[in-house]
């Protein structure tokens, strides 16, 4: 898909090393965006992949790093991103972890806090910093990655609760940032074929597929396509929304 | 001398105090008189939107990036002077 939907735009994507984040990076550069990724750690193979994507699509990809469990590191990354010119047009708060698969009565609060730190608090901190740059430009699109688990409780307490909280945060930010021309939306993917999704048992994957009216789980590229829509001007009158990309979980 | 150039060179020759006052008068659209007594929400234009405009003006004028805690603490003209000092800007 080389639609040039995002040509001339600058995007920041967190957790782009693999899975949905990598798919979003690939789709955005295919659509012409320069992308600044924030990953947990450096990986030569990933950097090599970025150089290949740059050559293939005539864009620039830069990398910075943060342990998303560490507020100070997230703030440092935010400062580094704010120092880069031009300011970003798009922010995708993608990074996430799913900590516990135990019953909530057997889940340590430490695990719940850890998921909230990565899935919600790091995204809020990064958005606080980068949205200020978008305010000056009077434009921007911010995308949060929620989950179908926010609606149906289909994962551990830490994941389901933090992904539900992401929706509240996105909606509040949409209210506050609309006057600056900044749109804020969330994506809620169903079970997706990623490393994170692979921890789900085969039986649970089959059950998830059977609940979707399309009868299968998602591919990362399908979530990335929805992200490209929300990032682009095609969705210029869409804000404060949660776009479910779950193959139609209707019951 | 072209007007735009004259304006730029005047900005360059301003003292930090003049630049600081300028940020308030332009971001909050208030006259320079009485600006030193200004407090957050003390005038209609210094609401949350005006506050972010003021922060942007200060960051541009002094080439700094303010931390969120300092943005929250910027509650008055006077308080702002102390905050600017943290970023090496003497008003």
Residue among A128, A223, A135, A221 at smallest CA distance from A183: A135
B65, A179: Cβ pair inside 8 Å? no
| Mean pLDDT (10-residue bins), chain A, 251 residues | 86 97 98 98 97 97 97 94 94 92 87 96 96 94 97 91 98 96 97 83 86 95 98 98 95 73
Q: Are B25 and B31 in contact (CB under 8 A)?
A: yes
CATH placement of domain B16-86:
1.10.1200.10
Q: Kindly tell me the burial class for residue A115, based on how many C-beta atoms sit within 10 Å of its own C-beta (0-12, 13-18, 19 or more).
A: buried
Residue of chain A nearest B48, judged by CA positions = A176
Give the C-alpha separation, A135 to A221, whole Å.
30
Q: What is the pLDDT of residue B13?
A: 82
This model of the complex carries an ipTM of: 0.73
Q: Which of A83, A128, A135 sits opposite B56 (nearest CB)?
A: A135
CATH placement of domain A10-245:
3.40.50.720
Residue B39 DSSP SS3: strand
Q: What is the pLDDT of residues A199-218, one digit of tens each?
A: 778 888 888 899 999 999 99
Q: List the domain boundaries for chain A.
A: 10-245
| Structure tokens belonging to residue A202 | 């085969």
Give the C-alpha separation, A125 to A137, whole Å.
20
Residue among A93, A84, A83, A119 at smallest CA distance from A187: A93
Q: What is the pLDDT of residue A161?
A: 96
Residue of chain A nearest B53, judged by CA positions = A136
Whether pLDDT at B9 is above 70: no
Tracing tokens 């320069």 back to the chain, one arrives at A34
Residue among A191, A165, A170, A197 at smallest CA distance from A182: A170
Residue A38 has φ and ψ, to the nearest 5°, of -120, 110
Q: Are A187 and A143 in contact (CB under 8 A)?
A: yes
Taking CB atoms and an 8 Å cutoff, what residues of chain A touch B55?
Answer: 132
CA of B39 vs chain A CAs: smallest distance (Å): 21
- Band (pLDDT 50/70/90 cuts) for residue B12 is low
Residues contacting residue B81 through CB under 8 Å, at least 6 positions apart: B20, B91
Give the pLDDT mean for B17-26: 97
| Structure tokens belonging to residue A154 | 């289909």
Q: Where are the beta strands (DSSP E) in chain A?
A: 10-14, 34-39, 61-65, 90-93, 140-145, 182-189, 242-245
Q: What is the pLDDT of residues B33-78, one digit of tens each?
A: 999 999 999 999 999 989 999 999 999 999 999 998 999 999 999 9
The DSSP-derived string for A64-124 is EE--TT-HHHHHHHHHHHHHSSSPPSEEEE--------S-GGG--HHHHHHHHIIIIIHHH
Alpha carbon B11 to its chain's center: 14
Tracing tokens 């600044």 back to the chain, one arrives at A36
Q: Which of A82, A125, A136 sits opposite B65 (nearest CB)?
A: A82
Residue of chain A nearest B60, judged by CA positions = A136
CA of A108 vs chain B CAs: smallest distance (Å): 31
Q: Which of B49, B67, B68 sits opposite A179 (nearest CB)?
A: B49
Whether pLDDT at B2 is above 60: no
Give the C-alpha separation, A221 to A44, whole Å.
23
Taking CB atoms and an 8 Å cutoff, what residues of chain A touch B65?
Answer: 79, 82-83
């Amino acid at each position: 898909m080389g639609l040039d939907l995002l040509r001339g735009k600058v995007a920041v994507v967190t957790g782009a090393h693999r899975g949905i984040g990598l798919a979003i990076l690939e789709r955005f550069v295919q659509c012409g965006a320069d992308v600044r990724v924030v990953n947990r750690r450096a990986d030569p193979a990933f950097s090599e992949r970025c150089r290949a994507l740059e050559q293939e699509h005539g864009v620039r990809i830069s990398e910075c790093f943060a342990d998303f469990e560490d507020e100070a590191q997230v703030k440092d990354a935010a400062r580094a991103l704010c120092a880069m010119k031009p300011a970003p047009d798009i922010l995708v708060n993608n990074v996430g972890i799913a900590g516990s698969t135990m019953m909530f009565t057997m889940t340590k609060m430490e695990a719940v806090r850890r998921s909230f730190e990565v899935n919600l608090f790091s995204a809020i901190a990064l958005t606080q910093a980068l949205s200020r740059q978008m305010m000056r430009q009077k434009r921007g699109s911010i995308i949060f990655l929620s989950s179908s688990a926010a609606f149906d409780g289909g994962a551990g307490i830490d994941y389901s609760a933090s992904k539900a909280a992401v929706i509240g945060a996105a909606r509040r930010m949409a209210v506050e940032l609309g006057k600056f021309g900044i749109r804020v939306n969330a994506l809620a993917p169903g079970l997706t074929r990623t490393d994170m999704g692979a921890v789900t048992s085969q039986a649970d994957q089959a059950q998830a597929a059977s609940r979707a009216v399309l009868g299968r789980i998602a591919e990362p590229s399908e979530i990335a396509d929805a992200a490209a829509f929300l990032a682009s001007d095609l969705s210029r009158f869409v804000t404060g929304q949660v776009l479910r990309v779950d193959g139609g979980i209707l019951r | 001398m072209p007007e735009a150039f004259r304006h730029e060179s005047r900005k360059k020759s301003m003292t930090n105090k003049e630049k600081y006052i300028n940020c308030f008068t332009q971001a909050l659209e208030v006259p320079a008189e009485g600006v030193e007594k200004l407090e957050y929400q003390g005038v209609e234009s210094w609401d949350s939107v005006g506050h972010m405009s003021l922060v942007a003006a200060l960051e541009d004028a002094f080439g700094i990036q303010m931390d969120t805690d300092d943005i929250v603490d910027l509650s008055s003209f006077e308080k702002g002077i102390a905050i600017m000092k943290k970023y090496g800007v003497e008003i």
